[in-house]
Structure 1
């Protein structure tokens, strides 16, 4: 289906050195979306040059957590309907047509819509591993919803009915294992800091069991072994992730305990 004119929605993207995938992401929406808003937190690569090629509205904002940054981007949109797109996600042609069809006769009847997302990992689509057609709520009326204000693993919450679309959102999240490790380090730190603020404790003796349970769940019960070598690596790294997260939480707790007994150490943090 050829999309008749511009669809009255705003695409909102947050970026930081996203040149690897940004061009493909913008190409998938530039021809039909009414507006693209990019909130950048200080890119030093070709990200801003790519954004200007697609006539995006670019705004600088210091990063202070994924939830807050994305909500700020949503607030800058001129349209009520927004599609929150990561810089490493591509809207398939089928999904673009489905989104356009919602607006052809009238405004959408739901407050938001989930989109099925597939992950590309180590050059392969994970057909299993708990990542096949994973529904994510990304298209919504910003007058009826918001993004949760958490540092990491944010989500969209709406008041009203939620519909489902079937066209794929394709996620090229990790260009290499090096990229994965960098993101895991960032995300586990943010998660540990958020849990520390909620005074959550790390149960260190359970970490071995947590690792084993997570690996077995993804690799066997969710069929990761059917995804070959990428499925094995995904299950392994996914099992390592919570161990690192809770270990960092324990590290923060130990640091706070040292400050209580030796307050002079606080000067080391200045």
Structure 2
């Protein structure tokens, strides 16, 4: 198959104010993906004009969690085979070649494929820190898989064992520490709400242990120290994440307790 021949595949993504990375992402798939679906939840920056430049089919949907939002996007695809991308994930040239090669002689065999993903953090690709070539299932046949219906940290589940590709998916998630803190605030709130629905206990007394365990695991056991300053900051902020998440859960549980009516004392 010619490199620039469109393959029968839909790229789907969800967006909200993604102008920083969206153009770069779309440039990595536009030449070869037959269909690009973008589901936006109310962008006020240049996200939509950028998407229009690449002939994306644009839908609006109020955001109600990452899992449901991405599944809605998958449902709008023209093709059964879909590639689910975040608006900050770039398909490397090698990965694009591998994907197009899968369709050279018909449709792929497995129900889905795991793609190795590398994270860019503070301007550096993390080679260690538990972020090097992390496999994520993103390419799949929607008749044989779906997006888990959770508010945050969703994944794609497919029938059987997914195949694997070797080309890299480049995750350029955080433009700055400010971006990271903003996303951490959003994600920890969604995670806390998800845990509250499942009646999970906060166990606030374990916060120190959560922080220490996560930091040691990422910085020492997974080699974050070898990633220099970005590795240190990734380990530090990743260790703060569960502390904030469980603290928000505790806060929600306290608010529920305070909202309950006080018992009425009857004196006879």
| TM-score band w.r.t. shorter chain | over 0.9
1:101 to 2:98 alignment: no
Quick one: distance in 2 between partners of 1:261 and 1:237?
39
1:23 to 2:23 alignment: yes
**What's the counterpart of residue 127 of structure 2?**
127
Quick one: distance in 2 between partners of 1:203 and 1:141?
40
**What's the counterpart of residue 9 of structure 1?**
9
**What's the counterpart of residue 145 of structure 1?**
145
Give TM-score, length-normalised by structure 1: 0.96
Quick one: distance in 2 between partners of 1:175 and 1:114?
26
Deviation at 1:34, TM superposition (A): 0.4
**What's the counterpart of residue 159 of structure 1?**
159
The alignment partner of 1:106 has SS state of coil
The alignment partner of 1:104 has SS state of coil
Greater mean deviation of Cα atoms: 104-113 or 226-235: 104-113
1:54-102 CA distance string (max 9 Å, x none): 0000000000000000000000001000000000010000000000111
The answer on whether the counterparts of 2:4 and 2:31 sit within 8 Å (CA) in structure 1 is no
Specify every segment of 5 or more residues in structure 2 that has no aligned partner in the other structure, as ranges: 264-268
Quick one: distance in 2 between partners of 1:13 and 1:64?
15
**What's the counterpart of residue 77 of structure 1?**
77
Deviation at 1:5, TM superposition (A): 1.0
**What's the counterpart of residue 53 of structure 2?**
53
Deviation at 1:106, TM superposition (A): 1.9
Quick one: distance in 2 between partners of 1:118 and 1:70?
21
Aligned residues: 263
Deviation at 1:173, TM superposition (A): 0.3
1:161-191 CA distance string (max 9 Å, x none): 3100000000000000000000000000000
Quick one: distance in 1 between partners of 2:223 and 2:91?
26
1:133-186 CA distance string (max 9 Å, x none): 000000000000000000000000011231000000000000000000000000
1:183-212 CA distance string (max 9 Å, x none): 000000000001001111001111100100
Specify every segment of 5 or more residues in structure 1 that has no aligned partner in the other structure, as ranges: 264-270
**What's the counterpart of residue 266 of structure 2?**
none
Quick one: distance in 2 between partners of 1:225 and 1:133?
18
**What's the counterpart of residue 182 of structure 1?**
182
Q: Superposed, which structure 2 residues align to 1:25-44 within 5 Å?
A: 25-44=25-44
Greater mean deviation of Cα atoms: 128-137 or 152-161: 152-161
1:230-258 CA distance string (max 9 Å, x none): 00000000000000000000000000000
The answer on whether the counterparts of 1:118 and 1:133 sit within 8 Å (CA) in structure 2 is yes
Q: Superposed, which structure 2 residues align to 1:84-95 within 5 Å?
A: 84-95=84-95
Quick one: distance in 2 between partners of 1:73 and 1:84?
9
Quick one: distance in 2 between partners of 1:194 and 1:175?
27
**What's the counterpart of residue 267 of structure 1?**
none
Quick one: distance in 1 between partners of 2:4 and 2:86?
25
Quick one: distance in 1 between partners of 2:47 and 2:54?
11
The answer on whether the counterparts of 2:148 and 2:157 sit within 8 Å (CA) in structure 1 is yes
